[in-house]
Structure formats: structure tokens, C-alpha cells
């Protein structure tokens, strides 16, 4: 054979062809291209929402901080603090609980200090404490039930070492009520004698609602409260008092000083700031957690009840704070990705939301819970969500269960888990969906309390857990599931492909598939390519544009990992 001159057109053509062959033809012992592409966090968020108090008690010594007590009867105990804390989360991180689910972000309930005591829950049904983190008292210090600064630092560092981000639940719309115990502890003199013996039925009779001492609480410049000397709540989304909670005046341009109770509070980190508004204080307090501990993102509560400009300002300052933390602590960060923010805008669906123009990377999708219940027609769900999500980054965060709505049918968590973990968009796992955590006691006038039961560590549903772990870790390896182009490739069994053209990540998934199953994969995988079914661990080779697998109910096809087989 005559040698081809190195710089001739024929030589260049041979080099090009050889290069393509090297890129695509299998090399023994390794995959020709990356077996999986997790993508950036913004392209493939898998967020585990944990109600810290109801998850795991890592430090029983802090269970009764501020004099908080539990109740003997479950119907009375539904609204108390149950003992879960930051140290408990760290212990479960170290056990690998979250990594085994493919989780890459942990959303925790607000850990900063809450009101100390209880208020009347439901319609005089139970004592309602701030175990959920939505009754803030002091944004600058940790609630003692949650733990210590050292506990928080260890939690964040442990999560970061596993590639898991920490997201705080934050509220800018309202602080908590002034309960009897907090009024006593902070010397806000609005209590009548004998308040310590108050019951659910006579609670309000021990509070002087006409007292001028209410001014020693947040004060009229800080909140709308409908109390002596305060402005009443308004009639629109931005100024109304939700559930009679005091409404922060974040829209006000008036410069303010610290409220008297906070100024006098001995353990607060809050200080008077020059030329600062209510919004400015809240943003400073919230972003200080980012600056000090490296918090990676916020889940923002009651988004529709705060003016968009406030959220945009929060995102801007939080982004700067996280960059500052990473510059000072390069060994403690996950990566160099910017601060991430997701919002709870009640009723929002999967479509890209208007609030993404005001700092939000994604919004919680309230429609998915109902959509997943119709999983008998998965193609309708997946193709619809693929069209809506189209492109990057992820702009919707889907969930099956929620603390604000209901728990998904506990007998359908295999089907529901498949819908959630295979759908385009982002994933929000509610703690205990992976173990079939049963609902707790359901108060007649506040049924959402039932969604917040204690994690069922003693009796998890092992079948459900194994299923969620397989699908969760598969999803974590493949950004194509979140943002890839979706295509149905088989009707019986139902199968689809997802391909992300930018990264080359690609998967084929089949549902309701058992026994020997043949699937068409031409155009997704190459002829002769070795694939693995991540559900069973079995391998197969593409022949004639098809693969045959011994299916175990679900098929999760991906390229064989580098160095495997």
C-alpha cells in the first residue's frame, strides 16, 4: 500500500475518520464517552426537604429549650417540638442516607430562633409551637432546640464534603406571634397574672390586647399587626396579615432602628444599622448565615406576599455573601456555582414563573402532586413537562408530598416515586416519602399537621426505599432526565429516551417491564455499545439498533461506567 502524504486532503480525511472512530468505538475496559453526566446543580437539582424537628434527635439535651414541653396524647402532641435537630441531620449524613438517595441538596426548616412558647392551634385543638420554623423571633441566632453554631458548621461541612448543598427555609413576609412565654422572657409587659396556667380555651384572656406595652415588641415601623399603635393589615397580597401573623413592612422606605425587644435581648447578634430599612435588616440577617456558614441557597416562603424587588435584593446580597465565603474558605465549598434560590408561590404550576425575573432560579410546582396521581398515562405527563421545561437551567421543582398540602397516597409510592424521579424539571423529595412514613394525627381544623409526623426509622418500607434509592441515584447521574429532549420509543412496554445534546448525556427508561424485554435504542446508543440496566445491574449490548434485557419491573439503561466490566 502506498503511504499517504501527511498533509494531503486524503490524509486529513483519514485523520478525521480515525478521530471519530476513536471517539465512538468501544475500548476494552472503558466506555468510549462519559457513562453519565450529573450536570450542574442548576441543571439537575434533587432537593430533600426535611422538617428538622421531626427527623432525627441527635442531641436529647436540647429537647426542652426555653421550657418547651411535649404532650402525652398524640392529638395534643401534634404541634410540639419532637426533638429533631441539626446534629441528627449530620448523623444521617455520615450514615450516607442522603447520598444513597442521589440527593444533592438538603432543604432544612429555618433554624434561627423561633418564638419560645405556644399559641392556640387550629380552632382550639392543640398547642402550636414553632417547630416548623415559620414563627421567627430572632433571625441572628440559632434556636436552641436546633443546636449550636458548632452543630450548624459541622452539618454544612459534612454535607459539602459529600457534594450536598444546604438550603435554608427563609421568611421575609412575617415574624412569629407574640406568645405568652416569649412575652415573659422578653419583658413585653402585656400579660395578666396567672398566664402560666393558661389553657387552649382561655389563652387569650391572659393577654392585654389594649396595652401600650405592645410598642416594646416589633413596633409600628416594622410590622402591621392591628394592635394598639400599629398599622392594620391591608387587603392585598403584599400588605395582608396571613393567619393574623404580623406583616413585615418590607416595602417601606423609612429608616428604622432595632425594635426595643431585640435591642434589649442579651444574646442577639442584631445591632442598629445606619440608614437601613426593614427590608435591609432582614436581608442582612439572612445573608449573614450565608457569609458565615456557606449556606448554598434559600427556599423562600410566601413569595407572593412580599414585593418582588425585595426578593431580587435578597438574591443579589446572598450571591455576594456566598462568593465571599467561598473566597475565604476554598476547601469548604461544594463548587463555584452561585447562590441558588427557589420560591413558594402558592398555586404556581410547572410553567416558567414571572418571579424568575426577580432572583428566583426555580419555583415550586404545586400541580405536580395531582399530575403524578394520574401516572397511568406517563407519556402525557413526561412529554408535557419536557415541553414546558425545554432548556436550562431547571425552572420548576416538583414534589409528591408537602407540609402545606398533603401526603401522597402511601400505597402508591412506587408509582409516584417513578413519576417524580423520572419527570423533567427538578425534584423535591419530602422526608419520609422514600420510607412510606405514615401520616400523624390529623386535627380537624388544621389537617396539614398530619403531614409532619416523625420519621419512621423503626419501620421503613424497605421495598419503597430500595426503589427510591435506585431511581434517585440513577437520576443524580443523568442531567438528561431533568433537561434532556424526551422521546417515546416504545408503547408496550412504555419506554422513552432522554438526551441532552449539550453534554451528550443520554438514557433509556422502560416502565412496567418484566421478564425478557427488547427495546429499540438506535439513535440513542451506538451499535455494539455495552449498556447497563441500573435497576438490575445486568449488562447488554446494542445489536441491530436494539437491546434485550431481563427486566425487573423498571429498566434504567445507561452506558457502562468507565472501568466496569
Q: Any idea which residues carry the catalytic annotation?
A: 301, 344
Instruction: Name, in order, each residue with C-beta under 8 angstroms of 340's C-beta and a sequence gap of 6 or more.
Output: 41, 42, 45, 105, 165, 167, 296, 297, 361
- Residues 123 and 158: beta-carbon distance below 8 Å: no
Which residues are within 8 A (CB) of 199 and not within 5 positions of it... i.e. 6 or more apart? none
Q: What angle do CA 325, 330, 334 make, to 5 degrees?
A: 85
d(CA 493, CA 550): 13
Give the strand pairing for 297-300 and 340-343.
parallel
**How many residues appear in the chain?**
565
Calpha distance 542→508 (Å, rounded): 12
Sheet containing strand 530-533, strands side by side: 485-490, 495-500, 505-520, 546-559, 530-533, 539-541
Residue found by looking up cell 448543598 in the block: 165
| Pair 16, 8: CB distance under 8 Å | no
Cα torsion through 27, 29, 33, 39, rounded to 10: 180
Which grid coordinates belong to 56? 432525627
List the alpha helices (DSSP H) in 212-354.
260-264, 278-293, 308-328
* C-alpha–C-alpha distance, residues 181 and 28, integer Å: 70
Phi (first) and psi of residue 487, to 5 degrees: -150, 130
Q: Which residues pair with 317 in a beta bridge?
A: none
| Phi-psi group of 545: left, alpha or beta (phi > 0 → left; psi -120 to 50 → alpha; rest → beta) | left
**DSSP states of 101-154 as a string?**
GT--EEEE---EEE-SS-EEETTTTEEE--TTS-SEEEEEEE-TTT--HHHHHH
Spatial distance between the Cα atoms of 332 and 317, rounded to a whole number of angstroms = 20
Cis peptide before 534 (omega within 30 of 0): no
Amino acid at each position: 500500500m502506498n503511504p499517504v502524504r501527511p498533509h494531503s486532503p486524503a490524509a486529513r480525511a483519514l485523520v478525521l475518520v480515525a478521530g471519530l472512530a476513536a471517539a465512538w468505538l468501544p475500548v476494552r475496559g472503558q466506555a468510549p464517552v462519559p457513562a453519565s453526566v450529573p450536570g450542574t446543580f442548576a441543571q439537575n437539582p434533587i432537593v430533600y426537604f426535611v422538617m428538622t424537628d421531626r427527623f432525627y434527635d441527635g442531641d436529647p439535651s436540647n429537647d426542652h429549650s426555653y421550657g418547651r414541653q411535649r404532650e402525652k396524647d398524640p392529638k395534643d402532641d401534634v404541634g410540639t417540638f419532637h426533638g429533631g435537630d441539626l446534629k441528627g441531620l449530620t448523623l444521617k449524613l455520615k450514615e450516607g442516607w442522603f447520598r444513597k438517595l442521589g440527593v444533592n441538596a438538603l432543604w432544612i426548616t429555618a433554624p434561627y430562633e423561633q418564638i419560645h412558647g405556644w399559641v392556640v392551634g387550629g380552632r382550639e385543638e392543640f398547642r402550636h409551637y414553632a417547630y416548623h420554623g415559620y414563627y421567627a423571633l430572632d433571625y441572628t441566632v440559632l434556636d436552641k432546640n436546633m443546636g449550636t453554631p458548632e452543630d450548624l458548621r459541622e452539618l454544612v461541612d459534612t454535607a459539602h464534603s459529600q457534594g450536598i448543598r444546604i438550603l435554608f427555609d427563609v421568611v421575609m413576609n412575617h415574624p412569629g406571634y407574640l406568645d405568652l412565654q416569649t412575652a415573659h422572657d422578653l419583658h413585653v409587659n402585656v400579660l395578666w397574672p396567672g398566664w402560666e396556667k393558661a389553657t387552649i380555651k382561655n389563652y387569650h384572656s391572659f393577654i392585654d390586647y389594649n396595652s401600650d406595652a405592645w410598642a416594646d415588641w416589633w413596633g409600628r415601623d416594622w410590622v402591621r399587626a392591628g394592635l394598639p399603635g400599629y398599622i392594620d393589615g391591608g387587603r392585598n397580597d403584599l400588605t395582608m396579615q396571613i393567619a393574623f401573623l404580623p406583616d413585615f413592612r418590607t416595602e417601606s422606605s423609612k429608616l428604622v432602628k432595632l425594635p426595643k425587644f431585640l435591642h434589649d435581648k442579651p444574646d442577639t447578634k442584631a445591632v442598629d444599622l445606619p440608614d437601613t430599612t426593614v427590608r435591609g435588616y432582614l436581608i442582612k440577617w439572612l445573608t449573614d448565615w450565608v457569609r458565615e456558614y456557606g449556606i448554598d441557597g434559600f427556599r423562600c416562603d410566601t413569595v407572593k406576599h412580599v414585593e418582588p424587588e425585595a426578593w431580587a435584593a435578597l438574591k443579589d446580597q446572598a450571591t455576594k455573601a456566598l462568593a465571599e465565603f467561598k473566597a475565604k474558605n476554598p476547601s469548604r465549598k461544594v463548587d463555584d456555582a452561585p447562590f441558588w434560590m427557589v420560591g413558594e408561590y402558592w398555586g404556581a404550576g410547572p410553567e416558567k414563573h414571572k418571579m424568575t425575573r426577580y432572583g428566583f432560579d426555580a419555583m415550586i410546582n404545586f400541580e405536580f402532586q395531582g399530575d403524578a396521581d394520574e401516572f397511568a398515562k406517563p407519556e402525557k405527563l413526561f412529554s408535557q413537562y419536557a415541553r414546558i421545561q425545554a432548556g436550562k437551567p431547571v425552572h420548576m421543582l416538583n414534589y409528591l408530598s408537602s407540609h402545606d398540602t398533603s401526603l401522597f397516597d402511601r400505597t402508591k409510592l412506587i408509582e409516584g416515586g417513578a413519576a417524580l424521579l423520572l419527570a423533567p424539571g427538578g425534584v423535591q423529595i419530602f422526608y419520609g416519602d422514600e420510607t412510606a412514613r405514615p401520616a400523624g394525627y390529623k386535627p380537624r381544623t388544621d389537617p396539614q399537621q398530619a403531614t409532619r409526623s416523625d420519621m419512621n426509622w423503626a419501620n421503613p418500607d424497605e421495598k419503597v426505599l430500595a426503589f427510591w434509592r435506585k431511581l434517585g441515584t440513577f437520576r443524580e447521574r443523568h442531567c438528561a432526565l431533568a433537561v434532556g429532549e424526551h422521546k417515546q420509543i416504545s408503547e408496550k412496554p412504555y419506554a422513552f429516551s432522554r438526551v441532552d445534546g449539550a453534554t451528550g448525556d443520554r438514557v433509556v427508561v422502560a416502565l412496567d417491564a418484566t421478564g425478557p424485554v427488547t427495546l429499540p435504542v438506535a439513535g440513542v446508543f451506538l451499535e455494539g455499545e455495552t449498556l447497563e440496566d441500573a435497576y438490575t445491574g445486568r449488562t447488554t449490548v446494542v445489536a441491530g439498533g436494539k437491546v434485550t434485557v431481563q427486566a425487573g419491573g423498571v429498566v434504567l439503561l445507561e452506558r457502562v461506567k468507565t472501568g466496569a466490566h
